[in-house]
Every structure is written in structure tokens, then in C-alpha cells.
Amino acid sequence: MAPQQTVTPPAPPTSAPAPRAQLIHIEVDRRLGHEWDEWNGRALPGGGNFSAAPRLFFHFAALTIAAVTGAVAFLLYLIGPRLGTLSPLVPRILWSVLAVLAVLQWLYLGVLAASFYSGRNLLPERLMERGPYLQLMNYTSLIARGFGKRDWVEHAAIDVYNTLAERRGRRVGKGELLVLIPRCLSKQALDGVLEIAGRYEVPVFVATRGQLARRVIRERRPRAVVAVACERDMMTGLRDVAGKLPVLGLTMQLPNGPCRDAAIDLGQMEQWVRGLVGAAPAPAHTKP
């Protein structure tokens, strides 16, 4: 879908106007993102707040590794005798490869958990939150769907990701940071985002679809992104973008169901923006 690059001018000045970022394009209709295609129209559990402890992700990640290893082992068990007719070495090699991979995966999960809970990243980002972790998150989400726990597990996975990513202490220039928000923010949340972005002088884009978000990133070439989205949209966004570009992902609460009136933690957003640009906010303009 072609983006509509409608620039909304900033609000007129008041007695002590806070700087306010320009907003590039917003739509206000309720069009469900495809991640919510199967939504039945009922209120979301917990008022659309899917907060969950990080350990939920680690439990499901362990289950995912066990399930995948078990499925491959079962397949090998079934086809092993047939492969053995080619050469008795073939099944033996395959079993050995599977054993090595299983050990590596369990080790990886152990290092990940140790990093998260010890407060010290034990691997470089390319081997952790911007590497295999992104795949692990997505496979874990698939398993969680089977247990009806998708949104909570995704929330926990994104929290773990953000903790690891934030710890890198990355700094970028103001013009190198991009804030990406979805079209479903409530007015209050949108005003808050624009105010924060205005104070730190970082551009804000509204991306109506993940595809458009990726296009904005391609064209603007930021060095870091603070993205806002529901857990479902954030998972695909992180999977596609975080390997190429540092991203912090702020999830939302959906009190009125998906794709409308979403609320966010503005304090968290400001903390991330301030941390990334490493600067104090621009002073508010006051009338002489």
C-alpha cells in the first residue's frame, strides 16, 4: 500500500508551549492488523494488558527446544532404518548431529537466562538479542499459540529482548533516531509521544502496516529505532528489522480491543529516547 505522506502541522503555540514533533501520517479508522484477523470482537483478557514475567518466556523457550528436538528425533527414529540401508553410517551421523544441536540449544538458553538474570550480557549482541534470539522468540511464539498463551509469552519475550538491548548502552545522534508508532494509539498516548519526540527533537512516523514501517526505515536510514506496537506486530517487526538495526520495542495495552485506543507507558518511552540520544530534553519555549 502506498504511504500517504500527510504532514500534520504542529499545534498552535499556547502560553508555554512544549516543543512538539511533527506527525507524519495517521489514519484513525479501525482496520485490524492481519495479526488480529481471528479476533472474535470480544473484550481482550486483562483489559488488553498482556504483561507477563520474563520467566514465562524461558519456560516456553525450554518447551520449544524440547518439542523441536523431540519431533526431529521421532522423525529420525521413523526413517532411520530406511536411511541405514544406504549406509549404516547415515543414521549414526544424523543422530550425532541432532545430539550436538540439542546440547548447543540448551547451552544457548542457559547463557541467555544467565545473561538476563545476572544483569550482564554474556554474548555480543549479534549472538544474542540481534542474532539467534530473534528466531528463538518466533519459534517460542508458535508453540505458545498452541497453549493459548501467545500474547503473554510474546510480551515476556519482548521484555527480555529490550532488557538485553538496552544494556548495550547505545548512543546515537538526535537525527539518527526514529520513533515509529502504529495508527491505533489513543489521543492521549499520541499527544504524549509527540511531546516526548518534540522535546528530544526526534522524528516520529506513523506506520499503518509493518511493511510501511520497514519502508520508512529503509528510506530514512536511522541508526536506531524506538518502535511502538502490540505484541503480535512487534514480534514480526523485531524479526525483520532488529537483526539489521538496533530497535527497542514498546508494547501497548489494548483496553478497547485490538487496533484502537491503545495506551502506552510514556515514561518508558522517554527513558529509552533519552538513553539513546544521550541528551537532556530541549527547553520549552517561553513567551518573553
Q: Which lies closer to ligand SF4 via its Cβ, residue 19 or residue 33?
A: 33
Say whether residue 261 binds ligand SF4 (CB under 6 A).
no
Minimum CB separation of residue 152 from ligand SF4 in Å reads 15
H/E element holding 115? helix 89-118
Of 230, 234, 228, 205, nearest in space to 218 by CA: 205
Say whether residue 35 binds ligand SF4 (CB under 6 A).
yes
Say whether residue 36 binds ligand SF4 (CB under 6 A).
yes
DSSP assigned state of 123: S
Q: Which lies closer to ligand SF4 via its Cβ, residue 45 or residue 175?
A: 45
Distance CA 277, CA 266 (A): 16
Q: Which lies closer to ligand SF4 via its Cβ, residue 61 or residue 262?
A: 262
SS3 211: helix
Structural contact between residues 225 and 248, judged by C-beta atoms closer than 8 angstroms = yes
State which of positions 162-201 bind ligand SF4 (CB under 6 A). 182-184
SS3 55: helix
Distance CA 129, CA 221 (A): 21
Say whether residue 33 binds ligand SF4 (CB under 6 A).
yes
Q: Which lies closer to ligand SF4 via its Cβ, residue 27 or residue 285?
A: 27
Q: Which lies closer to ligand SF4 via its Cβ, residue 134 or residue 184?
A: 184
DSSP assigned state of 11: P
Give the residue, chosen from 91, 203, 249, 258, that forms a contact with ligand SF4 under the rule CB under 6 A.
Answer: 258
Burial of 219 (0-12, 13-18, 19+ CB in 10 A): exposed
Minimum CB separation of residue 33 from ligand SF4 in Å reads 2
Give the residue, chosen from 44, 194, 259, 276, that forms a contact with ligand SF4 under the rule CB under 6 A.
Answer: 259
SS3 266: helix
36 grid coordinates: 488480529
Say whether residue 229 binds ligand SF4 (CB under 6 A).
yes
Say whether residue 230 binds ligand SF4 (CB under 6 A).
yes
Q: Which residues bind ligand SF4 (CB under 6 A)?
A: 33, 35-36, 182-184, 229-230, 232-233, 254, 258-259, 262
